[in-house]
Structure 1
């Protein structure tokens, strides 16, 4: 195998694919199909059929994962290689199904990057906004209805304030997006996959912003900026919540001492969540959070239904930011945002204030 092969309308850069395979220690390779003039949903559908057919043809020799969106097209991870000839067998079957579906274009190795090392080593408390969005309305996850376009535009607008370069992450791959269409590419990722993430990173300023969303609509927003006071990080977290208020059914802010790739990260931050609320409960009971809260936090976005259950918010600042959505803030945010968490007395008082709005053991069964 080698060079560029032409399969009646689908050109294959075999040499480039083998180079990435070699770079990966012959463990796996990501192949990318860039279509000529066919809509995204059709390409994903045909590519999905192509993966299934190719997996059958090359059974027990190589295996391709479900297609996901890349910046330029559709990417498939090939794994479990038994021999190099298996790559050619798989590609031939995959190309055949693309051609049968009326597609033309090019197949090559997916352009990948490693995230800058300094980003992966961030390990100081970061003020994090956790936002619960309506997943079906956003079109998050394969087969979901609606559109993610509006959310992606807001996410890019929020994250890009950090400056620097844009990195898209999906299905374990990272790509550098140097285009002016980052929001559109993020939207493609969310329509094709169960989750996606976006980073803007300015190495010269040691500043970064990170947005991640999962298939249940649970999103996290984080800023790393060692030169900015904590008040600025709080403002950025609050801005993320307010920007999503009309679409969110719950949100809260908490300092998280590491990069948060999902709501599970809250279980490892201070103050400790109530014993009955586990990381799995945060993730697995997404439907609860439009009417109940997992715990008290210094900043929360509540619905009218939440507000009907709370006991006493007379000592809290309550602002209706959009009809039926209220930002509720503690009188002393500094107390809540300490790396060691608020004093037990502060936490006990806050939990009493939220009263019946706190999810019970029975709610979490």
Structure 2
């Protein structure tokens, strides 16, 4: 019994990772008769030269996602792993995961995006802090809320007919039953562009995506090009309601998925001051979920639909969602002409000092 090595595909993946300035390469190990072979692959890797440090194995389904940390001698290390597995009595193959290793193409069309910030424990203003007095980045969401969030994210992102993966540039294939235990450990690492996403297995644009950032931030995007933008915004708004008791803030706004451009991303001031998220908002958006602390700072919300959706949680939504989410031309969003600048200016007046400014942030720095 032997485990074969697909040298051609691995060589191609190594070249791709080197172009991305990655020192390692992702592999996919399939063993006959084993749906989740990670334990066997881990045991085999530990028998190779310096295997405990050179290999990472994740408990994926249908094969074992395996990372070789140093590709300088991959053409020796991979056959060595295959030989150990063969000597253990296994047959199968070592190739590469189906997931495209390149970044997803940026969208040329803006989509309604749900932005959620979960409550963290301990609160951000309790530290730990870095040398500049800024809270150190961490996930921070209590385990029960994280479990609810991940379970929902997996069910929401895995659209029928697609394949799903989690990661940044390096992506691990996931299925509905194994995604939560695969994502959870990644939240404890340095969060940078971590996302759960679904795509057609044949390639192409993202279908749905959930991004994760420090202090309980998530972005949920449904890239349904056939849907009416206003209907999509209303559907996306449900995410805020589903998680309302666990949130300290939420919003729905337009973004260009896969790019740095957006109609209203959270401002740099907002993102640098997580200890103020439960009392201030980043800007005036068409849909927001806020607390009583937020509402106490509003100037006049009589032109808005304000609905209590959970204890101390209110949904503040525009009466005309189309004015916020249905541009006549996508370019109007990119040029900041949609929503109408006058509409945005009035909304900012309505929200008043609820919106976080540089001056407020400077005056309310956390005390390490």
TM-score (norm 2): 0.67
**Given that residues 139 and 216 in structure 2 are in contact (C-alpha distance below 8 angstroms), is that contact kept between their aligned partners in structure 1?**
no
For residue 21 of structure 1, the aligned residue among 10, 28, 34 is: 10
Structure 1: distance between partners of 2:57 and 2:140: 13
| Offset at residue 225 of structure 1 (A) | 2.2
For residue 190 of structure 1, the aligned residue among 183, 194, 206 is: 183
Once the two structures are superposed, the pairs formed by residues 135-150 of structure 1 within 5 Å of their partners are: 146-147=143-144, 148-150=146-148
Once the two structures are superposed, the pairs formed by residues 22-101 of structure 1 within 5 Å of their partners are: 22-25=11-14, 27=18, 28-31=24-27, 54=51, 70-71=60-61, 75-84=65-74, 87=77
Structure 2: distance between partners of 1:15 and 1:299: 52
2:147 aligned with 1:154:
no
Cα 1:360–1:46, aligned 2, differ >3 Å: closer, same or farther? farther
Structure 1: distance between partners of 2:257 and 2:110: 6
| Offset at residue 109 of structure 1 (A) | 4.7
Instruction: Give 2:191's aligned residue.
Output: none
Provide, for residues 179-221 of structure 1, a one-character-per-residue CA deviation record: whole Å limited to 9, x for no partner. Answer: xx51x422123212133413265989x9932222234321111
**Given that residues 107 and 257 in structure 2 are in contact (C-alpha distance below 8 angstroms), is that contact kept between their aligned partners in structure 1?**
yes
Structure 1: distance between partners of 2:199 and 2:245: 25
**Given that residues 284 and 348 in structure 2 are in contact (C-alpha distance below 8 angstroms), is that contact kept between their aligned partners in structure 1?**
yes
Instruction: Give 1:129's aligned residue.
Output: 114
RMSD: 4.6
2:236 aligned with 1:250:
no
What SS does the aligned partner of 2:182 have? helix
For residue 113 of structure 1, the aligned residue among 99, 106, 116 is: 99
Structure 2: distance between partners of 1:151 and 1:250: 15
What SS does the aligned partner of 1:347 have? helix
Structure 2: distance between partners of 1:216 and 1:224: 25
Structure 2: distance between partners of 1:46 and 1:91: 10
| Offset at residue 123 of structure 1 (A) | 1.7
Structure 2: distance between partners of 1:71 and 1:249: 35
| Offset at residue 129 of structure 1 (A) | 1.0
| Offset at residue 54 of structure 1 (A) | 4.1
**Given that residues 190 and 196 in structure 1 are in contact (C-alpha distance below 8 angstroms), is that contact kept between their aligned partners in structure 2?**
no
Provide, for residues 249-294 of structure 1, a one-character-per-residue CA deviation record: whole Å limited to 9, x for no partner. Answer: 111111112336xxxx4xx222587xxx32xx45443332122111
Instruction: Give 2:237's aligned residue.
Output: 238
What SS does the aligned partner of 2:222 have? strand
**Given that residues 102 and 169 in structure 2 are in contact (C-alpha distance below 8 angstroms), is that contact kept between their aligned partners in structure 1?**
no
Mean CA deviation greater in 287-296 or 168-177: 168-177
With CA pairs under 8 Å and 6+ residues apart, which has the higher RCO, 1 or 2? 2
2:331 aligned with 1:312:
no
**Given that residues 46 and 52 in structure 2 are in contact (C-alpha distance below 8 angstroms), is that contact kept between their aligned partners in structure 1?**
no
2:313 aligned with 1:325:
yes
Tell me, which stretches of 5 or more residues in structure 1 are unaligned?
5-12, 57-62, 96-103
Aligned residues: 316
Structure 1: distance between partners of 2:4 and 2:196: 30
What SS does the aligned partner of 1:290 have? coil
Tell me, which stretches of 5 or more residues in structure 2 are unaligned?
19-23, 123-136, 188-193, 328-332
TM-score (norm 1): 0.68
Structure 1: distance between partners of 2:294 and 2:169: 36
**Given that residues 150 and 180 in structure 2 are in contact (C-alpha distance below 8 angstroms), is that contact kept between their aligned partners in structure 1?**
yes
Structure 2: distance between partners of 1:90 and 1:287: 50
Instruction: Give 2:285's aligned residue.
Output: 297
